Chains A and B, each alone.
Chain A
Amino acid sequence: MIPIVSLAVFLPLIGAVILLFLPGTSKAVSHGIGIGFSALTFVLTLVMWSRGVVPGGFSQVEEVSWIEAIGAAYRVGVDGLSLPLVLLTSLLFLLSFVYQAKSSDRARSFVILMLMLETASIGTFVALDALLFYVFFEVSLVSMYFMIAGWGEKDRQRAALMFFLYTLLGSLPLLLAILGMFLASDPYTFDMRIWIETQPLTGIGGMLALIAMLFTFAVKIPAFPVHTWLPAAHVQAPTVGSVILAGVMLKFGTYGLVRFSLQMLPDAFASAGMVVLVFGVISAIYGAFVALAQSDLKRLIAYTSVNHMGYVVIGVAVAAMAVDPAMRAVALDGATLQMVSHGLVTGALFFLVGMLKDRAHTREMSHFGGLLKITPVLGWSFIFFAFASLGLPGLAHFPAEFQIFLATLNISPWAVVSILAIVVTAGLYLRAIGLVFLGEPGKEWLKMPDLDGREVLVLIPLVALTIAVGIVPGIVLDTIHTTTTSLGF
Chain B
Amino acid sequence: MSLLSLAVLAPVVAALILLLVKRGAAILALLGAGTGLLASLGLLRGAFLGNAPQRLMLPGLPDMPLRLEASALTSVLSVLVATVATFVLIYAVGYMRKDPEKTRFFATMLLFVAAMQALVLSADWITLLAAWELIGVSSYLLIGFWYAKPGVASAATRAFLYTRSADLGLYLGVFLLIGASGTSEISATLATTGTAAMIGGLLLLVAAIGKSAQVPMQDWLQRAMAGPTPVSALLHSATLVAAGAILLIRVAPMLPPETLFIIGLVGGLTTVVTGLIALGERDLKRLLASSTSSQYGLMFLAIGAGAPVVALLHLIAHAAIKSGLFLGAGVFQHERGSTAFERLAGSGREHKRIFAGFVLAALALAGIPPLSGFFSKDAIIAATMNATGAGWLATLAIAGTVLTGGYMGRAMAQLWQGKVEEAKPSGSLVWMGWGMAVLVTLAAVLGAGFPALERLLGAEIDTTLAAEALGLGAALTGLALGWFLPADRLLGPLLPWAREGFAVGGGMDNLVMRPALAVARAMNAVETVLYEAVFVFGRLNLRVGRGTRISDEAGIDGFIFGLADTMVRTGQKARRLQSGLIHRELALTIVTTGVIAAALFAAPLFY
Residue positions of A touching B, CB distance < 8 A:
142, 145-146, 149-150, 157-158, 160-162, 164-165, 168, 172, 175-176, 179-180, 183-184, 205, 225, 228-229, 231-232, 286, 289-290, 292-294, 326, 329-330, 333, 370, 372-373, 387, 392-394, 398-399, 402-403, 405-406, 409-410, 416, 419-420, 422-424, 426-427, 430-431, 433-434, 437-441, 472-474, 477-478, 481
Contacts and interface: CB of A to CB of B under 8 A. Distances in A.
B211 to A, nearest CB: 15
10 contacts: A149-B578, A179-B596, A394-B130, A406-B179, A409-B172, A416-B175, A423-B165, A424-B516, A434-B153, A438-B152
A294 B521 CA distance: 9
Contact of B516 (A231, A292, A438, A478): A292
B130 A416 contact: no
A47 to B, nearest CB: 25
A288 B574 CA distance: 35
A157 B573 CA distance: 11
Contacts of B147: 372, 437-439
A326 B184 CA distance: 14
Interface in B142-174: 144, 147-148, 150, 152-154, 156-157, 160-161, 164-165, 168, 171-172
Nearest to A438: B153
B21 interface: no
Interface in B264-317: none
Nearest to B531: A228
Contact of B530 (A225, A410, A437, A481): A225
B164 A423 contact: yes
Interface residues of B, number: 68
Given A392-B137, A423-B165, A423-B168, A165 B534 contact: yes
B148 A426 contact: no
Contact of A399 (B61, B153, B524, B607): B61
A191 B60 CA distance: 36
Given A289-B524, A294-B524, 17 more contacts: A150-B574, A175-B592, A176-B599, A228-B527, A289-B520, A290-B523, A290-B524, A293-B521, A293-B527, A326-B63, A402-B129, A409-B176, A409-B179, A422-B164, A422-B171, A439-B147, A477-B61
Contacts of A146: 578, 581
B514 to A, nearest CB: 12
A93 B607 CA distance: 44
A427 B577 CA distance: 41
Given A172-B592, A292-B517, A473 B61 contact: yes
B137 to A, nearest CB: 6
B523 A406 contact: no
B175 A149 contact: no
A408 to B, nearest CB: 8
A164 B584 contact: yes
A344 to B, nearest CB: 18
Nearest to A303: B527
B603 interface: yes
Q: In terms of DSSP, what is the predominant structure of the interface of chain B?
A: helix
Nearest to A474: B59
A159 to B, nearest CB: 10
B62 interface: yes
Nearest to B523: A289
Contact of A290 (B175, B520, B591, B595): B520
Contacts of A405: 171, 175
Contacts, number: 174
A433 B607 CA distance: 58
A477 B60 CA distance: 10
Contact of A292 (B144, B520, B537): B520
A406 B178 contact: yes
Interface in B505-552: 516-517, 519-521, 523-524, 527, 530-531, 534-535, 537-538, 541
B606 A416 contact: no
A379 B154 CA distance: 17
A430 B606 contact: no
B538 A165 contact: yes
B583 to A, nearest CB: 12
Nearest to A306: B527
Contacts of A420: 168
B126 interface: yes
A170 to B, nearest CB: 12
Contact of B535 (A158, A399, A426): A158
B585 interface: yes
B606 A184 contact: yes
Contacts of B524: 289-290, 293-294
Given A184-B606, A426-B164, A439-B148, A161 B172 contact: no
A433 B154 CA distance: 11
A162 B161 CA distance: 36
Nearest to B63: A326
Contacts of B62: 329-330, 333, 474, 477-478, 481
A26 to B, nearest CB: 20
B101 to A, nearest CB: 10
B577 A150 contact: yes
Contacts of A145: 581
A151 B351 CA distance: 68
A286 B606 contact: no
Contacts of B175: 405-406, 409-410, 416
Contact of A161 (B134, B568, B606): B568
Contacts of A225: 530
A-B pairs, 6 with minimum CB distance: A393-B130, A293-B524, A438-B153, A410-B179, A292-B520, A409-B175
Interface string B569-607: 001001001100100110010011001100110010011
Contacts of B530: 225, 228
Nearest to A470: B130
Nearest to B175: A409
B87 to A, nearest CB: 27
A168 B596 contact: no
Max count, chain A CB within 10 A of own CB: residue among B153, B521, B574:
B153
